[in-house]
Amino acid sequence: MMLFTMKNKKWLKKLGIGLLWLAIWHLTYKVIDRALYVPSILSVIRALLDLVVDIRFWQIIAASVYRVIAGLFLSLVFGVTMGVLCGLNGLLYDFINPIVKAIKATPVISFIIIALIWFKSTHVPIFIGFLMCFPIIWTNVVSGIRNIDTKLIEMAKVYQLKKTVIIKNIYLPSIKPFFTAGVIMALGLGWKVSVAAEVLSHPQYAIGSNLHSAKAYLDTPLLFAWTIVVIILSFIFESFFALWAKESRKTS
């Protein structure tokens, strides 16, 4: 009972904060008094409702989700492989590190422009998602490897544990928190950069393409509505991953 009321209280607080922000939005809308700059809440909700009843909306979402997942998947595969290798081999790390640093410092728009030249429009966001998330995964996996307690490895060797046993029981659990943190960061960033890439590359089905046309027609409520869609999708991705991370902690 106690727990229930505590949970309830937490929810009430969250709800209250949400409502407060909506009120601030509404107030801003009233004060600015120009729907082009700040649309009303109602008009955004209406735009959102118009979207979700259209079958095309779901095709667009599916296409964008596919691109984000593809970009993330590539960054995970390369990030983990390279991260493990670089974590174990200092020379390889020194070789890869400058390029990762350069990628991190380069404005994403530069990559988008060059990718527009290199790839088909639908593949540009995948490439950008991969390129932006790879350094995060890589950096985290390297730190994870370096964080492994060498004393535990020493113990494992004295007790003549097999390589596979050491990897499964010492390496992987040590890397996991770093990996999880990296993936959560990458999920958020992946959505942002791949939608940005879509805005410029105009694939036929893409959230970004629709953001672009909303801007072209000065349809601010639609712009807001699509943005909210991206935020919600990004949240859903993060929650699914957080759930997975929690489940696998329980079973291991």
Partner 1 sequence: MNLSIKNIHKSYGDLKVLHDFNLELDKNRIHCFFGPSGCGKTTLMHVIAGILKPDSGDIIMPPDMRFSYIFQEERLLPWMTVKENVALVLLDKKDKAYVESQVKASLSLVELNDFADYYPNELSGGMRQRVSIARAFAYEGDVLAMDEPFKGLHLKLKQSLMDAIYKYWILHKPQTYFITHDIDDALYIADDIYIFDGPPMRIVERIDIQVSHELRKTNPELLMAYKMKLSGVL
Footprint of partner 1 (CB under 8 A): 151-152, 154-155, 157-162, 165, 169-170, 173, 252
Nearer to partner 1 (CB atom), residue 29 or residue 171: 171
Nearer to partner 1 (CB atom), residue 5 or residue 150: 150
Residue pointed to by tokens 């943190």: 181
Nearer to partner 1 (CB atom), residue 34 or residue 162: 162
Nearer to partner 1 (CB atom), residue 81 or residue 147: 147
Nearer to partner 1 (CB atom), residue 103 or residue 148: 148
Other CB atoms within 10 Å distance of the CB of residue 232:
11
Instruction: Report in angstroms how near the CB of residue 175 gets to partner 1 at its nearest.
Output: 12
CA distance 189 to 23: 28
CA distance 161 to 172: 15
> 106 phi and psi, to 5 degrees?
-75, 135
Kindly state the DSSP code that residue 204 receives in the 8-state scheme.
Answer: S
CA distance 89 to 161: 22
Instruction: Report in angstroms how near the CB of residue 149 gets to partner 1 at its nearest.
Output: 8
Nearer to partner 1 (CB atom), residue 34 or residue 151: 151
Instruction: Report in angstroms how near the CB of residue 249 gets to partner 1 at its nearest.
Output: 9
CA distance 84 to 63: 32
Instruction: Report in angstroms how near the CB of residue 143 gets to partner 1 at its nearest.
Output: 17
Helix intervals (H) in the chain: 2-32, 41-52, 55-88, 90-105, 108-118, 124-147, 150-158, 163-166, 172-201, 207-216, 220-251
Nearer to partner 1 (CB atom), residue 148 or residue 185: 148
Q: Six-digit token pair at 169?
A: 């029981």
Distances (CA, A) of 30 to 42, 44, 224: 13, 15, 17
Q: Are 251 and 201 in contact (CB under 8 A)?
A: no
Instruction: Report in angstroms how near the CB of residue 220 gets to partner 1 at its nearest.
Output: 50
Instruction: Report in angstroms how near the CB of residue 234 gets to partner 1 at its nearest.
Output: 30
Instruction: Report in angstroms how near the CB of residue 160 gets to partner 1 at its nearest.
Output: 7
